[in-house]
Amino acid sequence: MAVTDDRVPAGSSPTGEAGYGPAALAAAEGLAPESSQLGDVWRRFRHNRLALVGMGVVAVEVLAAALAPLITFSNPTTNNTTLGPTGPSLTHWFGTDLLGRDIYARVVYGARVSLKVGILALVIALVIGLVVGALAGFYGGVLDGLLMRITDVFLAFPYIVAAIVLIVVIGRGLNTVILVLGLLGWMPFARLFRSSILQIKELEYIEAARAVGCSDARIIVRHMLPNAIQPVVVYGTIFVGTAVLSEAALSFLGVGALEPTPAWGLMVAQGKSFMSTIPGMLFFPGAAIFLTVMAFVFMGDGLRDALDPKLR
């Protein structure tokens, strides 16, 4: 359900005995909602431990990325070839890599890279997805058919292979990765948004907006978007996590970020040769990827439950 409303249709229970869930029940008995919508969302979110942990991890990461120069002690791209790869020490908490660069600094700065990729890729995917979904859902008919077939075609691409081919065509680099992740990631947004729009389109307040003379653009932006955005918010959160993972994978495969960018995927790729001797080279960036992805996924799950308690 895309629309929060205190009046919920009575859902059928699995026993088939009665269509009375607690929510429907409260609605049937006309209980007015007592607190604000956002407050409700937060209250439900708070009850989900994993989601809270996820949010904490993301918050720490955002802080680390923002304050990177203040909390690291060496430049992440300054070579120290005399030092070479070392394990954790007092001066280099996570050790140093092949070129003697401080892994701790690189992991912290790596958060900047990952978040940048995740968020910019999200923006690209979101914009394409919302436009396609809105047009398809709002106008329907032939346009809908066409846009949805295009979406299907995009969904049919094998993701990593398509990404690699595109990157090779466009040229390597972090910006290419962002573009490609966005171009290959908008389809679920389009589908989600379209289905929300289709539901909302039937509601009377859209008709009411039309009856007072709103233009199509205003109806979509002012009336549909804010009400259709919930599932998109949930998926968007998870999308950031998967984009981080995809970037790491591409960088690991050597088609993503370029040296000396402190990208976690690159660092893992380098560290895999030292897995037995200096495990920290693999472990720290690997853990960063793992934590980030899990954090966003947990947060997305928590958001979904909090935004729509009926789906659980």
Residue 170's closest CA among 105, 299, 162?
162
In the list 211, 276, 277, 312, the residue contacting another protein (rule: CB under 8 A) is: 211
C-alpha–C-alpha distance, residues 103 and 284, integer Å: 8
Here's the x/- map for another protein, 224-263, by CB under 8 A: it reads as --xx------------------------------------
Helix (H, G, I), strand (E, B) or coil at 29: coil
| Closest listed residue to residue 3, CA positions, set 223, 216, 208 | 223
CB 107 within 8 A of CB 74: no
Give me the phi and psi of 277, to 5 degrees please: -85, -55
Q: Are 225 and 200 in contact (CB under 8 A)?
A: no
CA distance 19 to 27: 12
Q: Closer to another protein by CB, 26 or 170: give it.
A: 26
Is the CB of residue 307 less than 8 Å from the CB of residue 234? yes
DSSP state of 96: B
Segment interacting with another protein (CB under 8 A) among 130-138, 161-169, 187-195, 206-214: 206-214
The stretch near another protein (CB under 8 A) out of 9-17, 76-84, 160-168, 261-269 is 9-17
Is there a contact between 105 and 112 (Cβ–Cβ < 8 Å)?
Answer: no
The residue within the footprint of another protein, chosen from 46, 49, 218, 272 (CB under 8 A), is 218
Residue 265 CB contacts under 8 Å (≥ 6 apart), including other chains: 247, 248, 249, 250, 251, 252, 256, 257, 285, 289
Is residue 28 at the binding interface for another protein, with CB under 8 A as the rule? yes
CB of 29 to another protein, least distance (A): 5
User: With respect to another protein, which residue has the nearer C-beta, 216 or 259?
Assistant: 216
Give the nearest distance from C-beta 135 to another protein in angstroms.
18
Q: Does 152 bind another protein (CB under 8 A)?
A: no
In angstroms, give the least distance from the CB of 144 to another protein.
12
Determine if 19 is a binding residue for another protein (CB under 8 A): yes
- 223 near another protein (CB under 8 A): yes
What is the SS3 assignment for 16? coil
Does 279 help bind another protein (rule: CB under 8 A)? no
Nearer to another protein, 71 or 153 (CB): 153
Question: Site for another protein (CB under 8 A): which residue of 83, 170, 203, 291?
Answer: 203
Q: What is the three-class DSSP state of 86?
A: strand
Mark the segment that binds another protein (CB under 8 A) among 89-97, 116-124, 125-133, 220-228: 220-228
- Which residues lie near another protein (CB under 8 A)? 3-7, 10-12, 16-22, 25-26, 28-37, 43, 141, 203-205, 207-215, 218, 222-223, 226-227
